[in-house]
Amino acid sequence: MTKMSVPSLFSLKVNGRNVVVEADPKAPLLYILRNDLALNGPKYGCGLGECGACCILIDGRAVRSCMIPIAAIAKREITTLEGLGDEEHLHPVQQAFIEESGAQCGYCLNGMIISAVALLDRNPDPQETDIREALRHNLCRCGTHIEILAAVRKAVVLSKAASSASAHSVVPETQA
């Protein structure tokens, strides 16, 4: 891959917010998110797209931000772990991981949650093998797999509950 070139300005949409950063076009998005935007959810794990610790969502798809040159993003929407929810407003997947203690050291947790969110987005009712395949290339070294699998199974339930709850709450408004 070619060497660094002249820094340029890039407008990004991250967690619903528009930001402008100045960086080398080849700079990995991971560094931009962490160092320029102080979004610490995505973690540096391998810099080779192998482990999944740096996962983010781009247009809803789980991708590895260590391998994304900032110049490749253009107008795509970026969501990080922070953008899913905070402790007061947890995303159902985050809530499931907390309830099932889906972390030991927690360094891989970001990638697990992001990959689970992407999975449930494309398949709201995954089977056990779907879940295991979806997380296949997210590495965990502590051996938290059992709790993580339980968390994703719980996330399926919580997500369904959340979507039916929001559907109910929308009905009166639309009728009104």
Partner 1 sequence: MTVGRDSPKSSYLAASDMLAVVSASLPDAELYIAIDAEGRVTAFNGHVDLGTGIRTSLAQIVAEELDMLFENVEMVLGSTSAVPNQGATIASETIQVTAKPLQRAAATARQYLLRRAAERLQLPPENLVVEDGIIRAVTGENRSLSFGDLVTGANVQLVLDPEAPLKPVADYRIVGSSRPRVDIPAKATGRWTYVHDVRLPGMLHGRVVRPPYAGFDHGAHVGTSLISVDESSVEHIPGLVAVVAIGDFVGVVATREENAAEAAKSLKAVWRLPPELPDLNSPEEALRANPSTPRKLADRGNVDLALEGAANAMDRTYVWPYQMHGSIGPSCAVADYRDDRLTVWSGTQNPFPMRKDLSVLLDMPEESITVERLEAAGCYGRNCADDVTADAALLSRAVGQAVRVQLTREQEHAWEPKGAAQVIDVRGGLDLEGGPAGYDFETRYPSNLAPTLPLLLTGKISPVADVLQMGDRTAIPPYAYGNLRVTVHDMPPIARASWFRGVSAMPNTFAHESYVDELASAAGVDPIEYRLRYLQDPRAVDLVRATAERAKWVPHTGPGTLGGEGDLLYGRGFAYAVYVHGKFPGTAAAWAAWVADVAVNRKTGEIAVTKVTCGQDSGLMINPDGVRHQIHGNIIQSTSRVLKEQVGFSSTAVTSKEWGGYSLITFPEVPDIDVLMIPRPDEPPLGVGESASVPSAAAIANAVFDATGIRFRELPLTPERVLAGLNGKEIEKTVSPVRRRRWWTMGVPVVGILSAVAGLATMASPWRPAISSVDKPDPNVYSAVTIERGRLAAAAGACNVCHVGTDGRAFAGGRRFDTPFGAVYATNITSDPENGIGNWSYPAFERAMRQGISRDGHHLYPAHPYTSFAGAEEADLQALYAFMMTQAPVAQKAPETKLAFPYSIRSMMAGWNAMFLKAAPFSYDQAKDAVWNRGAYLVETLGHCSACHTERNVLGAEKTGKARLSGGFADGWEAPALNALAKGPVTWTETAFYDYLRSGYARDHGSAAGPMADVVSALAPLPDSDIRAMAVYLSRLNTSPASETPDVQTQAAITASATASEQAARISPKGARIFEGACASCHEGNSILSPLTLNSNLHSDVPDNVLQVLMNGVEAPAILAETTGRGAPEVMSMPAFRDVLDKGQMEDLTAYLRARFAPGKEAWAGTGPAIDHIKSMVH
Burial class (CB in 10 A: 0-12, 13-18, 19+), 51: buried
Name residues contacting partner 1, limited to 64-123 (CB under 8 A).
64, 67-69, 71-74, 76, 80-82, 84-87, 90, 94, 97-99, 101-110, 113
Return the residue of 51, 117, 155, 158 that touches partner 1, per CB under 8 A.
Answer: 51
Q: Is 12 in the site for partner 1 (CB under 8 A)?
A: no
Complex with partner 1: residue 13 or 137, whichever CB lies closer: 137
State the nearest-atom distance from the C-beta of 162 to partner 1, in Å: 16
Comparing CA positions, the residue from 79, 78, 53 lying closest to residue 66 is 53
- Indicate whether 149 belongs to the interface with partner 1 (CB under 8 A): yes
CB of 158 to partner 1, least distance (A): 13
Confirm or reject binding of residue 63 to partner 1 (CB under 8 A). Answer: yes
Q: How many helices (H) and strands (E) does the chain have?
A: 6, 5
